[in-house]
Amino acid sequence: MKLAKVPNLIVLGTILSLAAIGCRKGLDKTTQIPKGSSPTIGDTGTGQPRDITSSPPVNTTSTDSTPLTGVNVPSNSNIAANTTDRSTWLENRDEFKAQTVYFDFDKSNIKPSEVGKLEEVAKRMKSSFQGKALRVEGHCDERGTEEYNRSLGDKRAQSGREKLAQLGLDPGLVDTISFGEEKPADPGHNDAAWKKNRRIELILLSPPPAGAAN
């Protein structure tokens, strides 16, 4: 018996074999769906994933970036990150709130009009805050994708750190972090909001009190 003309037919020879097995008596084949055939989300009984070790992060030796020597950092090279873990230091977000630095869309360079703010920060850090440190937090507006913005926010923070170094603040006292677009200053979806979100915030850090748990 000829098969009906099916110019666009997509069939394999094995189909007939399957037909031979499966169709002589209707349903010869049953397939048992195993219980939990996909990986179960395991837990330790409390519903929590096993805890990530909270031991200090691995320190690394950077061999390919400018060493931390404070001032006179060349303006055209990356400054390796500090290895000191200040994640538990106390944050003061108010001290340098007025010195939040803003950026143009999709840019990470410190505009000349913004440099004065960083001069102020460098000056006050050196004169008033011995023993303290600074965290530069990079942020973006929502017009970039999440990972793109995580990287751009990072670059903005590092840009701020480099400028502070050029202004005389020891980069060994300055950490950076990026939140990408995840912590906007203004949740609006317009130019006015976006302008406020493209920023770095300068956060004064104080060492935790002696004896505080890590």
State the amino acid at position 84 in one-letter form. Answer: T
Subset of 58-97 contacting another protein (CB under 8 A): 58-60, 62, 64-66, 76-83, 85-87
DSSP 168: T
Distance CA 163, CA 76 (A): 11
Distant-in-sequence, close-in-space partners of 67: CB < 8 Å, separation ≥ 6: 80
Q: Of the two residues 37 and 130, which places its CB atom closer to another protein in the complex?
A: 37
In DSSP terms, 47 is beta-bridged to none
Size of the site for another protein (CB under 8 A): 97
Q: Of the two residues 54 and 127, which places its CB atom closer to another protein in the complex?
A: 54
Query: Is residue 112 part of the contact set for another protein (CB under 8 A)?
Result: no
Distance CA 73, CA 202 (A): 20
Q: To the nearest whole angstrom, how small is the minimum distance from the Cβ of residue 137 to another protein?
A: 10
Subset of 128-157 contacting another protein (CB under 8 A): 142-148, 150-152, 154-155
Q: To the nearest whole angstrom, how small is the minimum distance from the Cβ of residue 121 to another protein?
A: 19
Binding mask 154-183 toward another protein (x if CB under 8 A, else -) reads xx--x---x------------xxxxxxxxx
Query: Is residue 190 part of the contact set for another protein (CB under 8 A)?
Result: no
Q: Which of 108, 133, 200, 203 binds another protein (CB under 8 A)?
A: 108
